[in-house]
């Protein structure tokens, strides 16, 4: 089994809203690098927050994230 962290666009290109799936052993760390919310994202809960530039800390956009812990997931 691969340990790669994969980012995959799950919505049509060109839309106003995008769904990006992150999977793999580094998925939670990757999410936390670019997403900020009031509290740590909860498992199986839609969390409101912001996508940030990890270099500058600048807010890029509002976002929602749903974190699903393995193994109870499907990719």
How far apart, in Å, do the first and last CA atoms of the chain sit? Answer: 13
What value does the mean pLDDT take over residues 46-58?
96
For residue 28, give every residue at least 6 positions away whose Cβ sits within 8 Å of its Cβ, in sequence order, or none: 67
The boundaries of the domain holding residue 17 are 6-66
- If one counts every other C-beta atom within 10 angstroms of the C-beta of residue 59, the result is 13
Residue 74 included in any domain: no
Residue 42 lies in a domain: yes
Sheet containing 35-37: give its strands across. Answer: 35-37, 46-52, 59-66
Asked whether the predicted pLDDT for residue 1 surpasses 70, the reply is no
Q: Look at residue 71 and tell me if it is in a domain.
A: no
pLDDT band at 67 (very low <50, low <70, confident <90, very high): confident
Share above pLDDT 70 across residues of the chain, in percent, rounded to a whole number: 95
Instruction: Indicate whether 25 belongs to any domain.
Output: yes
75 occurs within a structural domain: no
Domain count, the chain: 1
Output the pTM of the full model: 0.79
> Does any domain span residue 73?
no
Residue 49 lies in a domain: yes
Q: What average pLDDT does the segment 50-54 reach?
A: 97
């Amino acid at each position: 089994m691969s340990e790669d962290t994969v980012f995959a666009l799950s919505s049509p290109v060109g839309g106003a809203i995008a769904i990006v799936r992150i999977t793999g052993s580094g998925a939670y760390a990757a999410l936390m690098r670019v997403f900020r919310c009031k509290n740590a994202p909860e498992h199986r809960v839609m969390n409101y927050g912001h996508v940030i530039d990890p270099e500058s800390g600048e807010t890029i956009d509002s976002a929602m994230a749903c974190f699903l812990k393995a193994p109870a997931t499907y990719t």
